[in-house]
Amino acid sequence: MKKIQGFFDFLKQVYEELTKVTWLGKKDVVRSTVAVSFVVILVSIYISLVDFGLNTALKAILGGR
């Protein structure tokens, strides 16, 4: 029974802490999401190009098809 009460005390504390949080506005969230998406796309392109280059170089060195 003590464990159950401890669990509910924990949930109460979590709720109290979440009410103190200052959440970002919709405009800021959209702006951050666009920025992160752009960086992810750039890094993906970079990694793909490096992978392609290394793959091509290794095939040339090892005599692959």
The three-class DSSP label of residue 42 is helix
Reply yes or no on whether the pLDDT at 3 is more than 90.
no
pLDDT value of residue 65: 64
> Among 25, 21, 44, 45, which Cα is nearest to 33's?
25
5 vs 43, higher pLDDT: 43
What are the structure tokens assigned to 56, written together? Answer: 């091509």
Prediction pTM value: 0.65
